[in-house]
Amino acid sequence: MIRSLRPSTAVILLSAVLLSACAGRDDRPRLDNVSLMNGPKLFSTASDFKERKQYREAAQGFSLMAGWGRGWEVAQYQLGVCLLAIADNPAANDSPKDLRREAFVWIKLAADSGNKSAQSRLALMLRDGIGISPDLQEAARYAILAEQGSGDIPLVRSAAEAEVSANLQQRLKPADWDEAKRLARNFSPIIQSARQPTPGTRPTKN
């Protein structure tokens, strides 16, 4: 499973995948060196794999960046998205339940750090019980957060995510909806530490 890979193992596997996939094919994603300094290149490569729906390869790259902490919240979110996609089309040795739980952990970390896309996806997961037991009030809190203060950056959401807020407002009692709004107003993003994992250790989530 993706979640059990150590960064050093992930580097080896990602490099092997990239070298075999890129032999004689200049139009495919490629990464020659994995390091914090080359993080943007790694992110671009992982994003290319995700765009091609090669979610396992994408998850390997995003898993490295997810462990780097502050400044890489979007990689944490994208790792969660890839894990959800893998869970929807699992291999024989995959546990969809565990993959969704792991996805929830990463997406929540990004959401609690202020990432709007992660907050939007987390609201959907909390409403529908994906990777966690359903919690409508918490789902409403994150849905409200996702719609607040995005500034000039447009929030790109799926159709399912876009209707979560209205759906929850209909399903919750007025007092519970008001409480969700209060919690959203009092939200303060967590500040993750910034670090590069030591080779041979697993990424941490806080």
Q: What is the pLDDT of residues 153-179, one digit of tens each?
A: 556 677 777 789 899 999 999 999 999
Average pLDDT over residues 103-110: 98
pLDDT in the model for residue 33: 53
Cβ atoms of 124 and 135 within 8 Å: the answer is no
Query: Could you give the maximum distance between any two Cα atoms of the chain, in Å?
Result: 62
Q: Considering only residues 130 and 12, tell me which one the structure prediction assigns the higher pLDDT.
A: 130
Q: Considering only residues 148 and 139, tell me which one the structure prediction assigns the higher pLDDT.
A: 139
Checking if the pLDDT of 26 tops 60, the result is no
* Cα distance between residue 95 and residue 43, in whole Å: 26
Cβ atoms of 130 and 158 within 8 Å: the answer is no
Cβ atoms of 95 and 135 within 8 Å: the answer is no
SS3 165: helix
Length of the chain: 206
SS3 79: helix
Q: Considering only residues 64 and 156, tell me which one the structure prediction assigns the higher pLDDT.
A: 64
pLDDT in the model for residue 155: 66
* Cα distance between residue 186 and residue 180, in whole Å: 10
Side-chain-side CA neighbours of 28 within 13 Å: the count stands at: 14
Average pLDDT over residues 87-97: 95
Q: Whole-model pTM?
A: 0.78
pLDDT in the model for residue 34: 58
Helix axes 116-128, 136-147, angle to 10 degrees: 160
pLDDT in the model for residue 25: 44
Name every residue whose Cβ is closer than 8 Å to that of residue 157 and which is 6 or more positions away in sequence.
117, 120, 146
| 5-9, 43-47, 61-65: range with lowest mean pLDDT | 5-9
